[in-house]
Amino acid sequence: MDLKVIYEDNHIIVVEKPNNIPSQGDKTGDVDMLSIIKEYLKKKYQKPGNVYLGLIHRLDRPVGGVMVFAKTSKAASRLSEEVRNKKFKKTYLAIVNGKMQDEKGTLKDYLWKDQKNNTSYVVKQNKKNSKEASLDYEVLKYDKNLDASVLKINLHTGRHHQIRVQLSSRGHSIYGDGKYHGKLSNKDLCLWAYKLEFEHPTTKENLVFEDLPKMEGMWENLKGINLIV
């Protein structure tokens, strides 16, 4: 596949992950982002042997959007620390079924992951191994004809399938999400990590990267929307 590089220096590389490609290798053996970027770096810099590349964060396989990888172990360590300290900010776009009750809001739940079926559920707080999940959302647009809402989402926690589960539990499944009862009129999941903000691991500069999905299919609803925060 053609790799879309958004930014690159000696320490990090920021790229677009397409829908339906794993962030890293899994049991399917399908090509993954780590392998693709390693091959890109190996060819570009004519590096012999294995190329170092640190995975800092993940996106679910069906989710597309902007990701950053570390090109050195020092950069990987510092960026991972930002993730742990919640200084690493990801903003998503989603198209969901129906009209949200409020234009803005915070969703808080406890989620439990079914390891066997790779599915998560909203459960009561006292369920064993459940974890708290929280996100903010803002409605950017509601299309009455499609009965669909475009949302901007900021995560406070990074739980398994969090955005998909929390919205689905309230009757607002994401378009294309067969696992969580979403309408399948669109071939791709309408969830996209469009904005990434973090501190550069060496220069300490605050970096912001944005990457929008192609304006086609359901994503045509983004046309004319002001996404400036």
Cα 177–chain centre separation: 14
156-214 pLDDT, tens digit per residue, is 988 999 999 999 999 999 999 988 887 765 568 999 999 999 999 999 999 999 999 99
Question: Tell me: the pLDDT tens digits for 80-130?
Answer: 999 999 889 999 999 999 999 999 999 999 999 998 888 899 999 889 999
Structure-token pair, residue 119: 């599915």
The pLDDT of 64-73, averaged and rounded, is 97
Q: Which of 149, 147, 180, 176 is nearest to 163 (CA)?
A: 180
Is the pLDDT confidence value at 228 over 60? no
Closest CA to 66 of 54, 76, 75, 56: 56
Q: How far is CA 202 from CA 57, 75, 209, in A?
A: 18, 7, 17
Active site residues: 60
Cα gap 188→20, rounded to integer Å: 8
pLDDT the model gives residue 181: 81
- Look at residue 229 in the predicted model and tell me its pLDDT: 47
Query: 56 CB contacts (<8 Å, ≥6 apart)?
Result: 67, 68, 69, 70, 76, 79, 80, 83, 88
- pLDDT at residue 227, rounded to an integer: 73
Mode of pairing for the β-strands spanning 191-199 and 64-70: parallel
Residues 12-67: pLDDT tens digits?
999 999 999 999 988 888 899 999 999 999 999 998 888 999 999 999 999 999 99
Cα separation of 172 and 191, whole Å? 13
Residues 1-12, mean pLDDT to the nearest whole number: 94
Say how far residue 226 (Cα) sits from the centre of its chain: 20
CATH 3.30.2350.10 fits 5-222, yes or no: yes
Distance between CA atoms of residues 111 and 128, nearest Å: 10
The domains of the chain are located at 5-222
Q: What does the pLDDT look like over 123-169, one tens digit per residue?
A: 998 899 999 999 999 999 999 998 999 999 999 988 999 999 999 99
pLDDT attached to residue 43: 94
How much is the pLDDT for 202?
Answer: 97
CA proximity to 140, closest of 148, 156, 132, 151:
151
